[in-house]
Amino acid sequence: MSTQFLTEVEVAQRTHISLATLRRWRLENRGPIFRKFGSLVRYAEEELTRWEQAQPSGGENIAERFMPQPVRNNEPLGRSR
């Protein structure tokens, strides 16, 4: 199996992360795993995909927002037993 390597410019375009940020992350040992071939920086596509999938995601499932919530009891609010 042949590994496809991406340049830092291609990674920046794919992830919408600035080139400067990718370079800073490399200095800080953060971000996706990279390889050096002499002075060339390359990112294995498989590693980049794994890194992308491991990033936290946010938002909510829109279907869950409108699902009815279960009712606990029929007593008016403020009354306790």
User: 33, 43 in Cβ contact below 8 A?
Assistant: yes
Distance in angstroms (rounded) separating the CA atoms of residues 54 and 49: 9
pTM above threshold 0.85: no
**HSE of 76, CA atoms in CB hemisphere, 13 A:** 1
| Segment 33-59 mean pLDDT | 94
Kindly report the number of other CB atoms within 10 A of residue 11's CB atom: 21
* Strand-pair category, 5-7 with 35-37: unpaired
pLDDT band at 57 (very low <50, low <70, confident <90, very high): confident
